[in-house]
Structure 1
Amino acid sequence: MQIGIDLGGTKIEGIALDDAGTTLARQRVATPRDYAGTIAAIVSLVTGLETATGRRGTIGIGIPGAVVPDTGLVKNANSVWLIGQPLGADLAAQLRREVRLDNDANCFALSEASDGAAAGAEVVFGVIMGTGVGGGLIVRGRALGGRNLIAGEWGHNPLPWPRPDELPGPLCYCGKHGCIESWISGPAVAADHLRVTGQSLATPDIIAAAEAGHMAAQATRVRLIDRAARSLATVINLLDPDVVVLGGGLSNIPGIADDITAQLPAWVFSNDVRTPIVRHRHGDSSGVRGAAWLWPAS
């Protein structure tokens, strides 16, 4: 049995899967805002899942950040109480077994590569387009972290082939202007609509207005698709993955995968673009399922 834990900013979710990927049990709790409370909550979830199934499982955890191999300490976590903490070692001591940790975007990509929308593909790029823009790279069933633990962080490259009115670009929280994340994340779409139209609308409302035929909202959607296609074209030019899987809130926009696919030939360095852009299969469950798959089925 594989147990996956998705350590989010507002909730911690746990799932128990059998070797075929069938859900045996599932539980969630609110995320404590301190380190000791987070440890206790994860231990409680694992105990609850094992009690519910009557089985002992392997444990994989998706975290908002990365673990530095040399030290075992967490870095780059937006749940700031995790930063600098030996999360894996502390959980292993509490749970009395090895615990595997990885970035939550990697877990999303691993889930979709294992038994999701990209099952069977050798090289999979999993895209997160939500509050932020991130991604994970899976090669032959394994997530690549990279030398600096930032593989897949395509959101902090500059928007490719910028037009004059896109320069220098919005200020990103990382301190640079024009990052992809500052153009095609959920908040970025709302900011773009406000800049162009003067209307302050939440992104779901903009998309709903576009679906209803409102021209200004449709124009915002067109700009989003164009920028997403340019951005993903650079990923395809560099990695040439077998499949690109879209996740995050913006992946639920009707037709977004097909619309991005239609724009790729203008930007990809190939006269025959075969890369499928697909939506996730497991939705909000992908992260926690991918955490479970950090341990292969026996």
Structure 2
Amino acid sequence: MSKQSAVICLDLGGSFIKLGVMNAQGELTLLDQQKIPATSWDEFTALVSRMIAQHHLHFTTSSPVAISTAGIVAPDSGEMFASNIPAFHQRSLAKELGAILQREVIVHNDADCFTLAEALAGAGKGHKVVFGAILGSGVGGGLVADGRIITGQNGLTGEWGHGPITLTEVEIDGVTRRLPRKACPCGQKGCLDSYGGARGLENLHQTLHDRTASSVEIIESWQQQEAQAQQTIQAWLQIVGQPLAYSINITGASRVAVGGGLASVAPLIAALDEVVQGCVLSRTAHRLVVPGEFAHHGGMMGAALLARDLTRRA
């Protein structure tokens, strides 16, 4: 691999730092993974410096660092809002880390990076507007149009998981069931995140059946035609499908690439597509909602593609 055009890639989550490198052909190689020192800036920067130094043979001293991270990056100041990673919460991560590493550092939200990777090289390739729907432990999203990440006010775009939009009634086997609006850690009440991701699916099952089960157990039982799991997934598809259809109507997306753990359950995403197709203003001949092709390292890939584009245009 030519080191001259390499991009150093970092994915920063609440649990781990992943280090990779992208070559000139756009191929991503994962090099390392370490538990993140989530509460200490000094320990965090020391670990990042050490990880890059240990793998220095894969890139040059001028290779930029592209970071995909949980949290919001303020578009004007670069200040991070990442309450689950206090190590760099309310810091200008790109500027401060760049000074320590003596490299150009580019930072962007992980959902946005995933969406960019899918739009340029994955499930959304060839589509003008791509919506990224993250269905992991929670619900997140991103939006790409004409190959560019759309970044709105305060760095927020495509965040369909938050805001009081959750359905309060669902139809299960022809019977209307009422659902309570759950309080959300974001400070609002009734967010889709309460019922939409893997933890939300578990909350929904508990609410409907007063029974505790993991998302994996619920989905496995659903695939085995177990009655309670079937009812839970019926409700989940309505709760998630309708807001996703709104998002498509508003953004004009012709492809939704799904990331996160639930994206790996192909029958579930196919069922979600059927619900969404029934709710959008114009049903399409092709599938609208599909699993993303970069479920594991889409954030890193998107960040590297973004860095490469910004470097080229600089």
Give the alignment's TM-score, normalised by structure 1. Answer: 0.91
Match of 1:181 in 2: 193
In the alignment, is residue 114 of structure 1 matched against residue 126 of structure 2? no
Partner AA of 1:22 in structure 2: E
Within-5 A mapping of 1:71-86: 71-86=77-92
The verdict on how the C-alpha distance between 1:71 and 1:296 changes in structure 2, with shifts beyond 3 A counting, is closer
The verdict on how the C-alpha distance between 1:149 and 1:273 changes in structure 2, with shifts beyond 3 A counting, is farther
Q: Give the conservation status (yes or no) of the 8 Å contact 1:133–1:155.
A: yes
**Corresponding residue to 1:101 among 98, 103, 107:** 107
Q: How far does residue 19 in structure 1 lie from its aligned partner after superposition?
A: 2.2
Partner AA of 1:9 in structure 2: G
Match of 2:173 in 1: none
Q: Which moved more, 1:286-295 or 1:228-237?
A: 286-295
Match of 2:52 in 1: 46
Q: How far does residue 243 in structure 1 lie from its aligned partner after superposition?
A: 1.0
Within-5 A mapping of 1:220-239: 220-239=232-251
Q: Percent of counterpart pairs with the same letter? A: 29
Partner AA of 2:155 in structure 1: L
The verdict on how the C-alpha distance between 1:122 and 1:48 changes in structure 2, with shifts beyond 3 A counting, is farther
**Greater relative contact order (CA < 8 Å, ≥ 6 in sequence):** 1
* SS of aligned partner of 1:110: helix
* SS of aligned partner of 2:234: helix
Q: Which moved more, 1:288-297 or 1:83-92?
A: 288-297
Over the aligned positions, Cα root-mean-square deviation in angstroms equals 2.2
Q: Which moved more, 1:229-238 or 1:108-117?
A: 108-117
Alpha-carbon distance in structure 1 between the residues aligned to 2:178 and 2:148: 36
Q: How far does residue 114 in structure 1 lie from its aligned partner after superposition?
A: 2.1
Match of 1:251 in 2: 263
Q: Give the conservation status (yes or no) of the 8 Å contact 1:168–1:177.
A: no
Unaligned runs of 5+ in 1: none
Alpha-carbon distance in structure 2 between the residues aligned to 1:275 and 1:162: 28
**Corresponding residue to 2:300 among 249, 269, 288:** 288
Partner AA of 2:95 in structure 1: A
Alpha-carbon distance in structure 1 between the residues aligned to 2:32 and 2:42: 20
Match of 1:62 in 2: 68
Q: Which moved more, 1:255-264 or 1:231-240?
A: 255-264
Give the alignment's TM-score, normalised by structure 2. Answer: 0.87
Number of matched pairs: 298
